[in-house]
């Protein structure tokens, strides 16, 4: 799984991802010992290598990565779950949250330029990308793994929802980095807030978000 390959070659990548998915779909509490290595130090190449492609441009690659990770999260092997939780806390869930932030900003930018049919098509494409990611994140929450849910909610709130999504609805919504807007237009924020509330059903995410909707401004520590 960790062998260096030419992933710029789409055929090589397709075979590699298909192989990983095939292996992941065979994972259970018994077979996990062949993939998760505990000694001399914990290692889980199948999972780690798959997550590297979480934002790949190809939809089928992204979908396969999401299938693999969801399959892994279902396995009730405690040493493996501790390893996955640590990786999620240190890397993967933060990457997902910042990727969602980026997709929201891209949707906002596309909406600001939407003056013709071609521009509207771009808005639709950007909306589909961020909505697809939201659905995957909701699928993770719906597995009901408390420790994973707490970490994922924390990363989403602090990297995407509070500083970008909800900041667009507050009175101090003009935070900028290097002159570039890092919040959303109010109408885009409202559109996305509705999507988030429709997509997610996990209290550990929605309750802090609901409280934040009552703020008059985003705390300085969370604002760009």
What confidence tens digit (pLDDT) does each residue in 176-217 have? 444 445 789 999 999 999 999 999 999 999 999 999 998 766
pTM: predicted TM-score of the whole model, two decimal places: 0.89
Task: Please report, to the nearest 10 degrees, the dihedral formed by the alpha carbons of residues 23, 29, 32, 38 taken in order.
Answer: 170
pLDDT tens-digit map of 77-123: 999 999 999 999 999 999 999 999 999 999 999 999 887 767 789 99
**Residues found in the chain:** 224
- Nearest-10 crossing angle of helices 59-74, 78-87: 140
Nearest 5°: phi and psi at 100? -65, -45
């Amino acid at each position: 799984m960790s062998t260096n390959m030419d992933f710029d070659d789409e055929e090589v990548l397709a075979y590699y991802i298909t192989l990983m998915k095939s292996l992941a779909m065979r994972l259970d509490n018994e077979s996990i010992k062949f993939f998760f290595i505990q000694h001399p130090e914990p290692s889980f190449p199948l999972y780690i290598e798959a997550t590297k492609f979480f934002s790949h441009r190809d939809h089928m690659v992204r979908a396969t990565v999401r299938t693999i990770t969801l399959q892994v999260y279902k396995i009730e092997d405690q040493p493996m779950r501790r390893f996955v939780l640590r990786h999620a806390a240190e890397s993967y869930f933060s990457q997902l949250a910042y990727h969602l932030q980026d997709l929201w900003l891209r949707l906002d930018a596309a909406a600001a330029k939407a003056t013709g049919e071609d521009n509207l098509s771009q808005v639709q494409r950007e909306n589909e990308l961020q909505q697809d990611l939201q659905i995957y994140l909701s699928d993770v929450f719906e597995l009901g793994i408390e420790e994973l849910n707490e970490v994922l909610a924390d990363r989403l709130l602090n990297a995407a929802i509070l500083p970008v999504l909800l900041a667009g609805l507050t009175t101090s919504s003009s935070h900028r980095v290097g002159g570039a807007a890092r919040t959303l237009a109010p109408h885009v924020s409202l559109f996305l807030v509705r999507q988030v509330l429709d997509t997610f059903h996990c209290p550990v995410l929605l309750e802090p978000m609901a409280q934040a909707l009552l703020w008059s401004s985003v705390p300085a520590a969370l604002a760009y």
